[in-house]
Amino acid sequence: EIVLTQSPGTLSLSPGERATLSCRASQSVSSSYLAWYQQKPGQAPRLLIYDASSRATGIPDRFSGSGSGTDFTLTISRLEPEDFAVYYCQQYGDSMVAFGGGTKVEIQ
Amino acid sequence: QVQLVQSGAELRKPGASVRVSCKASGYTFTSYGINWVRQAPGQGLEYMGWISGYNGNTNYAQKFQGRVTMTRDTATNTAYMDLRSLSSDDTAVYYCARSGGYSYGQYYQGMDVWGQGTTVTVSS
């Protein structure tokens, strides 16, 4: 079973700054089948990125995903006030689909 | 518009079972799968499994094997998640979410449409 470890646990930044979130897998994720989600309090998650680097429909281009193998990154180029939330990665490269533990991006 | 609408909140006693429904609209139900994901209070997301809208094939997370059953009704475009032998550890918000027509791999492409969530509380 692939275990996903997200870091840091909490990221304290100001609006306009760049955010870099990491997702590390315990084994290689097949064909970079990895997604990123954003979740705000009291809301369902929202798909941001799939297949490691493809933006989902309607997602602003300040969100980008990269990586392969065991190391993946979600980058938010310039944080907007609405971007402060919790972010989760998810691997679906094999039948044992799993989420990482999440990274909270908070206002500094 | 494309949406998933879930059934209302449930309160169960330990040892009981619960069924959560997820009604799809605005898309071809049989062309996609439905995932179930839960979130305990203050915790992260936990994947429970997937069911094909096309043929009912399932892929359950190992943790829930033997305790969960996912079904679907193509006549009403509704997916169901049954969870048995409930304990207080099952207290959580349960989400259904749409993904591609395979349980993983190339055609999965993440969960792009989510239900509003159903709160299940297990308490004596």
With CB atoms and an 8 Å threshold, state whether B61 touches A30: no
pLDDT of residue A79: 98
The answer to whether the CB of B31 falls within 8 A of the CB of B54 is yes
Q: Each residue of B20-52: pLDDT tens digit?
A: 999 999 999 999 999 999 999 999 999 999 999
Looking at the partner chain, which of B62, B110, B114 has a beta carbon nearest the beta carbon of A35? B110
Q: Which residue of B has its CA nearest to A51?
A: B109
With CB atoms and an 8 Å threshold, state whether A92 touches B115: no
With CB atoms and an 8 Å threshold, state whether A90 touches B110: yes
d(CA B57, CA B119): 26
pLDDT of residue B81: 98
d(CA A7, CA A1): 19
The answer to whether the CB of B82 falls within 8 A of the CB of B19 is yes
pLDDT category at B106 given cuts 50, 70, 90 is confident
pLDDT category at B103 given cuts 50, 70, 90 is confident
Query: Looking at the complex, does the CB of residue B8 fall below 8 Å from at least one CB of chain A?
Result: no
Query: Looking at the complex, does the CB of residue B112 fall below 8 Å from at least one CB of chain A?
Result: yes
Q: Which residue of B has its CA nearest to A54?
A: B109
- Quote the tokens at residue A77: 């180029």
pLDDT of residue B107: 86
Q: Each residue of B58-80: pLDDT tens digit?
A: 999 999 999 999 999 999 999 99
Four-point Cα dihedral B104, B51, B115, B22, nearest 10: 170
Mean pLDDT of chain B: 96
* pLDDT tens, per residue, chain A with 108 residues: 999 999 999 999 999 999 999 999 999 999 899 999 999 999 999 999 999 999 999 999 999 999 999 999 999 999 999 999 999 999 999 889 999 999 999 999
- Quote the tokens at residue A86: 């919790």
Which residues in chain B have their CB less than 8 angstroms from residue A33's CB? 104-106, 108
With CB atoms and an 8 Å threshold, state whether A100 touches B44: yes
**Residue A68 to chain B, least CA–CA distance (Å):** 14
pLDDT of residue B34: 97
d(CA B31, CA A18): 38
Residue in A3, A47, A74 to test binding to B, most B beta-carbons within 10 Å? A47
pLDDT category at B101 given cuts 50, 70, 90 is confident
Q: How much is the average pLDDT of B110-121?
A: 98
Q: How far apart are the first and last CA of chain A?
A: 36
User: How many CB atoms within 10 Å of residue A85?
Assistant: 18
pLDDT of residue B105: 82
Q: Which residue of A has its CA nearest to B64?
A: A96
- Which 3 state secondary structure label does DSSP give B89? helix
Q: Answer yes or no: is pLDDT of B54 > 90.
A: yes
Question: Omega before A8 cis (within 30°)?
Answer: yes
CA-to-CA separations, B107 to A15, A31, A47, in angstroms, rounded: 35, 12, 15
Q: Answer yes or no: is pLDDT of B86 > 90.
A: yes
